[in-house]
Amino acid sequence: RTSFYEQYGVICDVIQNHLTEILTFVAMETPANISDSEEIHRNKMKVYASLERLGKRSAVIGQYQAYNSEVRQELQKAAEYTSTIPTFAGGCTLH
């Protein structure tokens, strides 16, 4: 798993793929024909269009404390190797 995260990180792996898919299925209007992939796609796009964009000050990324030692051990990296891949992301709306 560490080699995958070193390539993609939390943004592409968890947020972009998994959480966005869950969000659309939870928030979209139920299609009249659940088997119609075009109707499902249209309903998902309505959800995307309605979302507020996060500003740079509304999101935070970070890295779990033990991640670098795991990367060095599992991927056999040198002791001075430091990963900059985010393993945590969160957001909030500031009003």
Give me the catalytic one of 12, 18, 36, 58: 18
- Residue 70 DSSP SS3: helix
Give the three-state DSSP class for 62.
strand
Helix 37-50 vs helix 20-27: crossing angle, to nearest 10: 100
Active site residue 18: yes
- Return the active site residues: 18
